[in-house]
């Protein structure tokens, strides 16, 4: 039968091992994933930004955190993760709407060694496509410029000057109006909320005119990259608005 002193010695040894393991850090089945999304174009004005880590197999959200921009990056870190396969997704929340702006490739987490890894997250994507047709009435303007504009309406500094990323446009001639219709297609657009218009610009007065616009707005994000059939009507005789 084991003596009392030997029993107490075994208990103390077990306690010592437990304390040492706790001091060493998390168990081998836990780790952390860290990285940063690169901000290479305009973010939606007033949006709250979050990183969500997903189980890549089930698609189930595991955790989320509010992000704060540091220079041109949005850094994130998720500790205390069990071994598995994950993805990190960047979400912009604005006006009751959630817009996914970017997502990492799958990340393999193999125990605590992953806490030493820094995952290179992609830049916020710009591969949106927007297309449709404009049914036009009236006579094509004899002077000035006529153009189709796809412009971000969720940016702080709004401009009609095209940059082919947040504000795209192309000029039209009377020959482009075939069968009273104009076809348009924009590619490589940044993610955000867009307004599409058929407009005119007067070189003498420097004022713009709106001949017609797509009702409502179009949201382009990671889950809604391509929008086709966005048709609307316009009338060259109206030309309301302007600035």
List, for residues 187-209, the tens digit of each pLDDT value. Answer: 999 999 999 999 999 888 888 89
Q: So what's the pLDDT on residue 82?
A: 87
Kindly write down the DSSP assignment for every residue of 83-149, as one continuous string: SEEEEEEEEEEETTEEEEEEE---EEE-GGGGGG-EEEEEEPP--EEEEEEEEEESPPPSSSEEEEE
| pLDDT computed for residue 99 by the predictor | 93
133 and 229 both lie in a single domain: yes
Contact present, 243 and 208 (Cβ < 8 Å): yes
Per-residue pLDDT tens for 95-120? 888 999 999 999 888 765 555 566 66
DSSP 8-state class, residue 229: -
Question: Rounded to the nearest 5 degrees, what angle is found at the Cα of 159, between the Cα atoms of 240 and 136?
Answer: 35
How far is residue 83's CA from residue 96's CA, in Å, rounded to a whole number?
34
Give dist(CA 231, CA 215) in Å, integer. Answer: 9
Instruction: Answer yes or no: do 157 and 99 share one domain.
Output: no
Q: Tell me the residue range of the domain where 60 lies.
A: 26-123
| 145 and 61 in a common domain | no
Residue 107 located in a structural domain: yes
Q: Which two tokens stand for residue 32?
A: 């952390």
Kindly report the backbone phi and psi dihedral angles of residue 24, in degrees, each rounded to the nearest multiple of 5, phi listed first. Answer: -75, -20
Indicate the average pLDDT of the chain: 83
Residue 14 lies in a domain: no
Range in 13-22, 43-52, 131-140, 184-193 with the lowest mean pLDDT: 13-22
Contacts of 223 (CB under 8 A, 6+ apart): 100
Q: State mean pLDDT over 206-216.
A: 93
Tokens of 148: 């189709």
pLDDT of residue 124: 82
% helix, strand, coil for the chain, step of 5: 10, 50, 35
Say yes or no: 192 and 171 in one domain: yes
Note whether 74 and 166 are same-domain residues. no
3-state secondary structure of 15: helix
**Residue with token string 């174009």:** 41
Residue at which a domain ends, from 79, 107, 123: 123
**What Å distances lie between residue 14 and 69, 137, 173, CA to CA?**
47, 87, 85
Domain tally, the chain = 2
**CATH number of domain containing 89:** 2.60.40.10
């Amino acid at each position: 039968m084991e003596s009392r002193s030997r029993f107490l010695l075994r208990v103390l040894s077990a306690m010592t091992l437990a304390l040492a393991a706790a001091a060493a850090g998390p168990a081998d089945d836990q780790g952390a994933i860290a990285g940063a999304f690169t901000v290479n174009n305009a973010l939606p004005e007033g949006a709250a930004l979050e990183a969500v880590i997903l189980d890549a197999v089930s698609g189930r959200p595991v955790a989320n955190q509010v992000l704060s921009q540091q220079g041109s990056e949005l850094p994130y870190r998720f500790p205390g993760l069990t071994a598995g396969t994950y993805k990190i997704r960047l979400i912009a929340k604005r006006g009751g709407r959630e817009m996914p702006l970017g997502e990492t490739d799958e990340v393999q987490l193999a125990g605590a060694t992953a806490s030493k890894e820094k995952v290179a997250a992609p830049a916020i994507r710009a591969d949106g496509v927007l297309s449709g047709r404009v049914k036009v009435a009236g006579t094509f303007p004899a002077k000035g410029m006529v153009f189709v504009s796809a412009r971000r309406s969720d940016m702080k500094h709004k401009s009609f000057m095209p940059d082919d990323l947040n504000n795209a446009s192309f000029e039209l001639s009377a020959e482009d109006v075939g069968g009273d219709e104009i076809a348009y297609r924009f590619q490589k657009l940044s993610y955000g909320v867009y307004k599409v218009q058929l407009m005119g610009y007067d070189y003498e007065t420097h004022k713009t005119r709106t001949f017609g616009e797509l009702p409502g707005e179009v949201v382009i994000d990671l889950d809604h990259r391509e929008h086709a059939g966005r048709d609307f009507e316009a009338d060259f005789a109206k030309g309301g608005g302007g600035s």
